[in-house]
Chain A
Amino acid sequence: MNMIEVEHIAKSFGKTEAVKDVSFEVHTGEIMGLLGPNGAGKTTTIRVILDLFKPDRGRAEILGGVMDESKLNRIGYMPEERGLYQDIPLERCLTYLATLKGMSPSAAHSRLDELLRRFELTDNRKKQVKTLSKGMQQKAQIISTIIHDPDVIIIDEPFAALDPLNTQLVKDLMGEMRAAGKSILMSTHQMHQVEELCDRIVLIDKGMTLLYGDLQSIRRKYSGEEVLIRTRGAMPELHGVAGISPHNDAVKLSLEAGTTPNDLLRQLLENGAAVERFELAIPELDEIFIRVVKGDVR
């Protein structure tokens, strides 16, 4: 079942087209990465999904229909612009936000105890929010997003300001939520986190969907254009190679259009090279990101 459905949405502000044509779906129990450079239209897309903006064209649905009041308590949203009440104690701030998500104060307190313990914030519960570090405030923000056990979580840069330990903590939590059947739409620039966490991604730029699909397929799609080779002794001269660059103990060869990895391997063997390593270079996600956004590849 699709928990979020975005179909050809467009949104303009005056003459600025923030989103031109974006489509994707988020299924039950998956983590979807919403990627794109700054100003790509990610935040506007999220705001259209949440009905904070009405789309000029297209359709955005969440939890099986357009956003309405009955769905507010089933959604957890951590916006790009972080916000907690700075002048009140952390506990009061989080309890208030939890009760606005339909929790009773007693249920909110009990769940809060659990989450504060897990995020190691118990000792800070009585402190004013403004006295907490950025990382602590980020953890508090994450708590306020998930405290009411939402079915759909839309989260913008969840790992910002977190140290490796807390990053792992949040990743574990997101993995647990996915296992519990929650759907997560995560907007981030941290590609290695996306590679570790996301089942599928949608990459948008200039308000358009550039890439959409599951991570493995996308990475496979962009492999085959480069190979990693290590030979014992000098490497013979090869045809159909656009560029060579060192890569750890091997070299990475970029293939010219029309040249396949098989062609290269055949040339090596015909030239009597002692091949110790020959593998397709699977591009990292950030590499694909840069290539797609720069327009090298579509």
Chain B
Amino acid sequence: MSKLMRVAVNEFRTNVMKRSFLLALLSLPLFLTFSIGMGMIMESVTSSKKPIGFVDQAGVIQSLEMPWLDTDAESIEVRPFTTLEEANAALQAGQIQGYFTIPADYLETGDVDLTIVDEVSDRAQAQFSRLLRYNVVLESEPGMAVRITKGLDLIVQSPDGSRTYPEGGPPFSLTLPLIVSAGFVFVLLMSAGYAMGAVAGERESRTIEVLVTSIPPGGLLRGKLLGILGISLTLMICWALIGVGAVWAGARVFDSPWLQQATIDWGSLGAVLLIALPNYISALAVMIMVGSTHHS
């Protein structure tokens, strides 16, 4: 093994055995878990499942059925009130999020009033809006009511039809390169400490003079760079394995359709690696050189 490789192996071994490496390793998964978890918590907090009320003075809502919904779990109860006083009392009692008032001239003006105390979730508003549209159409075009209310089941596809993306956000194969790019940024942040301290640490431990009389300074720096690249690669591989585990769990355990349809677009992924990798190595090299000029 060459001296350069010995420096690299020592750099890798020394840093990987430290507790800080374990922290760096867990930081990204913990950060993502925390972010996603917080998002889910915020969603559940802000998305009230309380019923929404309405007072129909125009007499357009004849049916409270919502046949466009795929599952009952998606629905929020819509509660009719005959008078504004009743609806107001329910709102004040906290039984409903709010109530809509459909005025008698609704069909001419299209105006609908919403009365709230705090706020009404977007989901509840969207659901009532669809219910109203469904009932308006139901009277004139009963056969088309569901189709018109539901709108499009949009499927985006590539010109040759080989790639299709269901509605509801970008597919996994498009998201993965973004995640990998973010991973590179994250690993750069993580390895900045290793890079800046690679030579500065030798100065602090006063081993630098012994080292530069054992291996030329250029070889020492290249060895350090190689060692830190090894650390970064280890981090990336561990994160990738954790990511694969998360996708598997999401698809199999949590039945996420988005993850069940997960594929990898190797072309996009390769392009990201082609751009990110040399940039990452250059940035590391600069950081090692900056660190080596530091005098304690």
Nearest neighbor of B209 in chain A, beta-carbon distance: A79
Least Cβ distance of A250 to chain B in Å?
A: 48
Least Cβ distance of A61 to chain B in Å?
A: 16
Chain B positions 1 through 28: 1 when the CB is less than 8 Å from some CB of chain A, otherwise 0 = 1010011001000100000000000000
A102 CB contacts on chain B under 8 angstroms: 3
Least Cβ distance of A160 to chain B in Å?
A: 14
B14 CB contacts on chain A under 8 angstroms: 85, 87-88
Nearest neighbor of A68 in chain B, beta-carbon distance: B216
B206-A82 in contact (CB<8A): yes
B210 CB contacts on chain A under 8 angstroms: 77-79, 83, 97, 144
Bound state CA distance, A78 and B10, in angstroms? 21
Contacts A96-B6, A96-B10, A100-B7; A83 near B213 (Cβ below 8 A): no
B205 CB contacts on chain A under 8 angstroms: 83-86
- The listed residue with most A CB atoms (<10 A of its CB), out of B10, B206, B210, is B210
Chain B positions 184-212 with a Cβ under 8 Å from a chain A Cβ: 202, 205-212
B206-A83 in contact (CB<8A): yes
B208-A72 in contact (CB<8A): no
B209-A83 in contact (CB<8A): yes
Bound state CA distance, A75 and B3, in angstroms? 16
- Say what secondary structure dominates the interface of chain A: loop
Asked whether any CB of chain B lies closer than 8 Å to the CB of A101, the reply is yes
Asked whether any CB of chain B lies closer than 8 Å to the CB of A244, the reply is no
Interface size class of B (residues with CB under 8 A): 10 to 19
Nearest neighbor of A148 in chain B, beta-carbon distance: B214
Give the number of A-B contacts (CB < 8 Å): 51
Contacts A85-B14, A96-B10, A100-B7; A72 near B206 (Cβ below 8 A): no
Contacts A69-B216, A96-B10; A84 near B207 (Cβ below 8 A): yes
B211 CB contacts on chain A under 8 angstroms: 100
Asked whether any CB of chain B lies closer than 8 Å to the CB of A50, the reply is yes
Q: Which of B1, B7, B213, B215 contacts A75 (CB 8 A)?
A: B213
Bound state CA distance, A87 and B215, in angstroms? 22
B215-A52 in contact (CB<8A): no
B3-A100 in contact (CB<8A): yes
A72-B6 in contact (CB<8A): no
A72-B207 in contact (CB<8A): no
Asked whether any CB of chain B lies closer than 8 Å to the CB of A81, the reply is yes
Q: Which of B6, B206, B213 contacts A77 (CB 8 A)?
A: B213
Chain A positions 125-153 with a Cβ under 8 Å from a chain B Cβ: 144
Bound state CA distance, A100 and B1, in angstroms? 10
- The listed residue with most B CB atoms (<10 A of its CB), out of A72, A75, A79, A100, is A100
Contacts A72-B214, A72-B215, A88-B14; A100 near B209 (Cβ below 8 A): no
Contacts A85-B14, A88-B14; A101 near B206 (Cβ below 8 A): no
A69 CB contacts on chain B under 8 angstroms: 216
Asked whether any CB of chain B lies closer than 8 Å to the CB of A267, the reply is no
B209-A99 in contact (CB<8A): no
A144 CB contacts on chain B under 8 angstroms: 210
Bound state CA distance, A78 and B207, in angstroms? 10
Chain B positions 39-80 with a Cβ under 8 Å from a chain A Cβ: none
Contacts A83-B206, A88-B14; A99 near B6 (Cβ below 8 A): yes
Contacts A52-B212, A69-B216, A101-B214; A81 near B206 (Cβ below 8 A): yes
B10 CB contacts on chain A under 8 angstroms: 96
A86 CB contacts on chain B under 8 angstroms: 205
Bound state CA distance, A183 and B211, in angstroms? 21
A87 CB contacts on chain B under 8 angstroms: 14
Chain A positions 184-239 with a Cβ under 8 Å from a chain B Cβ: none
A97-B209 in contact (CB<8A): no
Bound state CA distance, A83 and B207, in angstroms? 4
Least Cβ distance of B199 to chain A in Å?
A: 13
Q: Which A residues have a C-beta under 8 Å from some C-beta of B?
A: 50, 52, 69, 72, 75, 77-79, 81-88, 96-97, 99-102, 144
* Nearest 5 pairs of A and B residues by beta carbon: A83-B206, A83-B207, A100-B214, A79-B209, A81-B206
Q: Known pairs A69-B216, A85-B14. 18 more at Cβ < 8 A?
A: A50-B213, A52-B209, A52-B213, A75-B213, A77-B209, A77-B210, A78-B210, A81-B209, A82-B206, A84-B207, A88-B14, A97-B214, A99-B1, A99-B3, A99-B6, A100-B3, A101-B214, A144-B210
Q: Which B residues have a C-beta under 8 Å from some C-beta of A?
A: 1, 3, 6-7, 10, 14, 202, 205-216
18 A-B residue pairings within 8 Å (CB atoms): A50-B213, A52-B209, A52-B213, A72-B215, A79-B210, A82-B206, A83-B202, A83-B206, A83-B208, A85-B205, A85-B207, A88-B14, A97-B214, A99-B1, A99-B6, A100-B7, A100-B211, A100-B214
